[in-house]
Amino acid sequence: MKVYDWLVVGAGLTGAALSYELSKAGFSVLLIEENQDSANATRFSYGGIPYWSGTSPLTTQLASEGINRYHELSAELDQDFEFRNIDLLLTIASNTNPHTTRSQYNHFAIQPQLLDVNAACELEPMINPEAISGAIHFNHAHVNPQLLVKAYLSGLSAHGGEICLDQVTGFTREGVSTLKSNYFSKNMAVCAGGIGRSLLQNAGISTRLCFTHAEVIETIPSELTLRSLVMPAVSERFILESQSSNLDEVWNYDNYEVSPPSIDVGAIQFKNRQLRIGQLSMAHTNPHLERDLKQSEISIREQVNKVLPAIASVRGSCHHCLVAFSPDSLPLIGTVAGNIAGNIAENIYLFSGFTSPFVYVPTLAKRFALSVGGNFDPLISQLSPQRFGNS
Ligand SMILES: Cc1cc2nc3c(=O)[nH]c(=O)nc-3n(C[C@H](O)[C@H](O)[C@H](O)COP(=O)(O)OP(=O)(O)OC[C@H]3O[C@@H](n4cnc5c(N)ncnc54)[C@H](O)[C@@H]3O)c2cc1C
């Protein structure tokens, strides 16, 4: 009977990065992922790295470490994950005062530039000038999410970590049960994205992990060229996250629409010329909710046609995933208070709920691995899931 030091559930960005860092720190690691094709939030993400987005000493330090960690990882993982600088254009709706919208960005550590319509369209000719009153411009960074995960998983294997295709169905004090077997481990980390909430709930562990249902169109490779990453300056998704997470009690209902669907017109093109176009977000407590993806695709294309008309009709298909977040936009990292067969489950950890995971996960995965190796980290302890006082 093999007993691992760490068993990690989920091979999206959070699980892949955490498994890699734990194995690099010298722990024996088993990573369990239920989906062969990993059609998860990481898979459908834009992969943008908002290293400018610190708003407090904690997040400013982490964002700065985050971008530096990518430079290290490029050499350390020795695989190309298409890390690059990119212009981020946050479009301001034509009926909105650009200066008022710009002022909403005053609290960020790195300040953006406000562009008028001409300057915005010069930077991104795909934008319809009639649809905007200006745009906010940040120097942004970008990776290919699938290639980044692949690079982390190769690094995990190189350090002796193991990966297994199976579904975790429950926790015991000694490890996890899965569809196929039982695995034994001294510690477990839940990196299961939006499903993490119900997975822990089934084990009698409550958390403040919330999630949105997200839908995005992935196109075939296109002859068109989108130079920048485009998103709206006022993000419906972030408004939805901040409003819906405050309604803690409703998240305990089984089948409840916390917030109706809304669409943020955004797009990114990858090196293989495929576009991801989105995104529709809604908050509903049922992670297995059946969605009409044909209808979502029509709705997304209608909205995209207003701002980025040339790409709105590029052939593609609509996909669904769950995106985890927390009530205060900070990740949930640390042991979860729980009760399994009468014993507090101090060896079950959460590493999830990141609002901007691409900037924070690489550095926090490394910090976490060092902290559980015995180097107390005051930054990690500030992110404990127990900061909300859940039982
Ligand atoms: C359209 C879109 C654009 C985005 N753009 C950005 C962006 O530009 N920048 C940014 O920082 N973030 C962005 N995000 C958010 C980001 O993609 C996600 O927050 C992040 O990828 C989540 O990673 P994760 O590892 O927590 O979850 P996931 O990627 O969802 O991975 C969780 C994994 O756990 C597995 N799993 C679940 N339950 C079990 C189980 N019981 N047993 C075994 N395995 C299990 C799942 O199969 C899945 O593979 C975007 C999201 C979307 C949808």
On whether the CB atoms of residues 209 and 353 are closer than 8 A, the answer is: yes
At 50, the pLDDT band (50, 70, 90 cuts) reads very high
pTM for the model stands at 0.96
Q: What is the DSSP letter of 34?
A: S
Indicate whether 252 and 282 sit together in one domain. Answer: yes
pLDDT in tens, 191-205: 999 999 999 998 888
Q: Which of 325, 343, 371 finishes a domain? A: 325
> What integer is the mean pLDDT of 156-172?
96
Top mutation candidate among 323, 330, 349, 361 for ligand 1, by most atoms within 8 Å of CB = 323
Residues 6+ apart with CB under 8 A from 288: none
What total number of domains does the chain contain? 2
Q: What is the DSSP letter of 261?
A: E
> Over the stretch 26-46, which tens digit does the pLDDT of each residue have?
999 999 999 988 789 999 999
Q: Which residue has the tokens 């917030």?
A: 259
* The dihedral formed by the CA atoms of 122, 301, 236 and 83, expressed in degrees to the nearest 10: -60
CATH of the domain at 229: 3.30.9.10
Using the atom order of ligand 1, give the atom closest to the CA of residue 229. Answer: 8
pLDDT value of residue 391: 43
Q: Do 148 and 75 share a domain, yes or no? A: yes
Query: Per-residue pLDDT averaged across 84-92, rounded?
Result: 98
> Same domain for 356 and 232?
no
Sorting pLDDT into bands at 50, 70 and 90, what band is 10? very high
Residue of the nearest CA to atom 21 in ligand 1? Answer: 42
Q: 10 Å Cβ neighbour count for 24?
A: 20
Over pLDDT 90: what percentage of the chain? 85
Residue 217 CA to chain centroid, in angstroms? Answer: 17
> What's the mean per-residue pLDDT of the chain?
94
Give the mean pLDDT of 106-123.
97
Residue 11: pLDDT above 50? yes
Q: Whose CA is nearest to atom 27 of ligand 1?
A: 193
Rounded to an integer, the average pLDDT of 14-19 is 98
Structural domain that includes position 11: 3-79+144-208+329-388
Q: What is the mean predicted confidence (pLDDT) over 115-130?
A: 98
Tens-place pLDDT, residues 332-369: 999 997 766 666 678 999 999 999 999 999 999 999 99
Residue whose Cα lies nearest atom 9 of ligand 1: it is 48
The pLDDT score that the predictor gives to residue 389 is 76
Range of lowest pLDDT (57-66, 209-218, 344-353): 344-353
Query: What's the mean pLDDT in 147-166?
Result: 98
| Closest residue to atom 26 of ligand 1, CA basis | 193
Q: Does 340 share its domain with 284?
A: no
The continuous run of DSSP H or E covering 318 comes out as strand 316-325
Task: Tell how far the Cα of 134 is from the centroid of ligand 1, in angstroms.
Answer: 31
pLDDT for position 231: 98
Question: Is the same domain home to 136 and 263?
Answer: yes
- Same domain, yes or no, for 107 and 202? no
How high is the pLDDT of residue 390?
A: 53
Residue 155 shares a structural domain with residue 38: yes
Q: Cβ–Cβ contacts within 10 Å for residue 352, how many?
A: 33
Q: H-helix or E-strand containing 282?
A: strand 275-284
Q: What is the chain's Cα-based Rg?
A: 21
Q: Are residues 192 and 290 in the same domain?
A: no
Q: Among the atoms of ligand 1, which is closest to the Cα of residue 321? A: 53
Residue 377: CATH number of its domain: 3.50.50.60
Best residue among 7, 9, 21, 40 to mutate for probing ligand 1's pocket (most ligand atoms within 8 Å of CB) is 40
- Site to probe by mutation for ligand 1, drawn from 42, 143, 262 as the one with most ligand atoms within 8 Å of Cβ, is 42
Residue 183 has phi, psi (to 5 degrees) of -125, 145
3-state secondary structure of 253: coil
- Under 8 Å between Cβ of 250 and 258: yes
Residue type (1 letter), 46: Y
Cα–ligand 1 centroid distance for 191 (angstroms) = 9
Residue type for 135, please?
Answer: A
Of 300, 325, 350, the one marking the end of a domain is 325
pLDDT tens for residues 256-305?
A: 998 899 999 999 999 999 999 999 999 999 999 999 999 999 999 999 99
Identify whether the C-beta of residue 107 lies closer than 8 Å to the C-beta of residue 233: no
Axis crossing angle, helix 13-24 with helix 145-158, rounded to the nearest 10: 30
Return the closest-CA partner of residue 140 out of 78, 47, 76: 47
- Same domain as 157, residue 232: no
Same domain for 334 and 233:
no
Claim to verify: residue 334 and residue 321 sit in the same structural domain: no
Asked if 9 and 124 sit in the same domain, the reply is: no
Q: Which of 88, 91, 12 is nearest to 44 (CA)?
A: 12
Decide: residue 260, CB within 10 A, 0-12 exposed, 13-18 middle, 19+ buried: exposed
Using CA atoms, how far apart are residues 18 and 41, in angstroms rounded to an integer? Answer: 16
**Last-in-domain residue among 276, 305, 325:** 325
Residues with CB under 6 A from ligand 1: 9-15, 32-35, 38, 40-42, 44-48, 167-168, 191-193, 195, 199, 214, 216, 278-279, 321, 323-324, 352, 354, 356-358
